[in-house]
Structure 1
Amino acid sequence: MQRQIQEQAQARASELTLGPVLFNWEPERWRDFYFGIADEAPVTTVYLGEAICFKRAPLFRDHVDAVAERLAAAGKTVVRSTLSEVMSAQERSLVAEVCAEPAVMVEANDGSALLHLRGRPHHVGPFINVYNERTMAVLARGGACAICLPPEMPAEAIAALCIEAATLGVTIETQVFGRLSLALSARCYHARAHDRNKDSCQFICKQDPDGLTLRTLEDQPFLVINGIQTMSYDYLNLIGELADLQRIGVRRFRLSPHSCDMVAVAATFRDVLDERIDAGEATQRLDALGIAAPFSNGFYHGKAGHLWN
């Protein structure tokens, strides 16, 4: 009985979060997506903001306040995300603008944001490489109160960092659903694929709401590109590993938005965290959504990332 009580308390302490939209969606679609999340999705925290390309940020700027207000009215905590790669003066200005917002929790996805956030509570996103205890300790001293680990980390490494996080008072978050970010580049792959340069891309990436699939010479799907970002073709799915992640100390579980039914995805993960359904039934639910790519969990098990264990 005591063990059951502990497990139920642990489930209640587990938060389901929604990462920022990483793709270039039409502004009205972007707005309506978040309105739906506010009204229907069982997530506690929503990350909001442009993390990939600074040129996209103005496209939905007129909707940010309305979306944030709708999410807050629904009881969701809103965290503003910053760019994941910062090189130009324009990109630095965008990061500074987000970090300067009063009374707003910010997720840093690049070292330039850490400079602005030093000394105040903030989150650290998965684009910042936190692979060891010393890095975590440095970030915690700078004000990091929550860290989303890079998605390629195996279970053993996550467990080790959870132990350190407990001593530092830092909450650990991991991505559990969605395509994985594998690399960032100064060059925009989307623009190059259409014989355009980065400055005159004409927002060609909006044609691919879940990224542009790359294929091998044998015509097999291999990777996905999203502007400057290289992503996995497969969708990370750690629905079967949630109990293990809870056991080793992870308390926040991130879903990365895609054009599938994210409300249904969130409800399924929440039902597993609350022990209303088991992982087998949850996997069947996710399969029924008709996601046009396979699931994977290889990285978590210390194997090639695209594998499904």
Structure 2
Amino acid sequence: MNPARTTLTLGPVLFNWPAEQWRDFYYRIADEAPVDHVSVGEVVCSRRQPLLGEQVADVIERLERGGKTVLLSSLALPTLERELRSDGQLRAAPYLVEANDVSMLRLLAPTPHAIGPLVNVYNEHTAQFLASRGATRICLPPELPKQSIAAIAGAMTTAAIEVWGFGRSPLAISARCYHARLNGRSKDSCQFACDQDPDGLEVTTLDEQKFLAVNGVQTLSHTYCCLIEEAVQLAELGVSALRLSPHTFDMIAIAHLFRQVLDGSIDAGAAISQVRSLCPGADLSNGFVHGDIGARFVIA
């Protein structure tokens, strides 16, 4: 699938932001960000879902009014009966559902749906199988090199292939909550300690080297993947969309830079310099797409 215009997708907020901050972020996205698709929903921890309350409906309405196509994200690791019921209820919603766990696939097929980056799609055969069961959008996991991305995108005729373009890379989901354990609490009495780290809690090695980041039950990369210099090449390989994962940086400005690079109105080298200025203190990386160590930044 080779669309004339590579689109931008804003992924779901992976972190535990206060409800008003979460709502206002999406309101700004609706009104100001040049993104085409927006995925909304709790992916990491079902205990956070009630915290958003009625904000979800208001956010979806505002996004649609702003001309965005809304997707609903499922949980990444549903283990409880109530979590399975909650994911199952997504089928009745009048929006494309993005599956982030294989348990959703049997519920969604054969109706049209999306595949999130937490479902491992590593080759064209898997992508074709998922497309045959109704997947119309497939976001690839962030660890794939461009050779694999090209093979998958080149084999697709019915599903849009999306690549992780910006944000800390999701690496793993656990049944154990790191934030709760760090604070001497159990998962069920965590007191939402993860809300103290709106971009994730940085993890260092015993040698004080920056290593990973944790977000409740989720493990993320320490570095922030940024493929703005590779955006045009990925589009030429047949990638239909780039995904931007929300952080507390100015995501509106970052989205505009990606759009300008894709449209050819700004040089990619100048754009990456501006991204660095928008993300003070953040270590950027692009190693995975170049077949290198993921935490590295390879000079294109």
Q: Which of 176, 197, 215 is residue 204 of structure 2 equivalent to?
A: 215
Q: Distance in 2 between matches of 1:197 and 1:295?
A: 33
1:239–1:283 CA contact under 8 A, matched in 2: yes
Displacement of 1:291 in angstroms is 3.1
SS in 2 for 1:288: helix
Q: Which of 103, 106, 110 is residue 97 of structure 2 equivalent to?
A: 106
Q: Distance in 2 between matches of 1:291 and 1:55?
A: 31
Displacement of 1:219 in angstroms is 1.5
1:99–1:113 CA contact under 8 A, matched in 2: no
Q: Distance in 2 between matches of 1:150 and 1:12?
A: 23
Q: TM-score, normalised by structure 2?
A: 0.97
Aligned twin of 1:253: 242
Displacement of 1:94 in angstroms is 1.5
The gaps in structure 1 that reach 5 residues or longer are 1-9
Displacement of 1:273 in angstroms is 0.6
**How many pairs were matched up?**
297
Aligned twin of 1:6: none
SS in 2 for 1:224: strand
Q: Distance in 1 between matches of 2:3 and 2:249?
A: 26
2:276–2:282 CA contact under 8 A, matched in 1: no
- Large movers: runs of 4+ above 4 Å: none
Is 1:120 aligned with 2:103?
A: no
Q: Which of 263, 280, 299 is residue 274 of structure 1 equivalent to?
A: 263
Aligned twin of 1:73: 65
Is 1:139 aligned with 2:130?
A: yes
Q: Distance in 2 between matches of 1:61 and 1:154?
A: 39
Q: Distance in 2 between matches of 1:105 and 1:214?
A: 35
Is 1:165 aligned with 2:175?
A: no
Q: Distance in 2 between matches of 1:62 and 1:56?
A: 13
Displacement of 1:289 in angstroms is 1.1
Sequence identity percentage: 50
Displacement of 1:12 in angstroms is 5.2
Aligned-residue CA RMSD (Å): 1.2
1:54–1:94 CA contact under 8 A, matched in 2: no
The one-letter amino acid paired with 1:144 is: A
2:257–2:271 CA contact under 8 A, matched in 1: yes
Aligned twin of 2:54: 62
Is 1:20 aligned with 2:12?
A: yes
2:43–2:73 CA contact under 8 A, matched in 1: yes
After TM superposition, the structure 1 stretch with the greater mean CA deviation from structure 2, 110-119 or 150-159, is: 110-119
Q: Distance in 2 between matches of 1:54 and 1:11?
A: 36
Displacement of 1:133 in angstroms is 2.2
Displacement of 1:36 in angstroms is 0.5
Is 1:180 aligned with 2:182?
A: no
Q: Distance in 2 between matches of 1:183 and 1:64?
A: 26
Q: Distance in 2 between matches of 1:225 and 1:256?
A: 15
Q: Distance in 1 between matches of 2:15 and 2:266?
A: 31
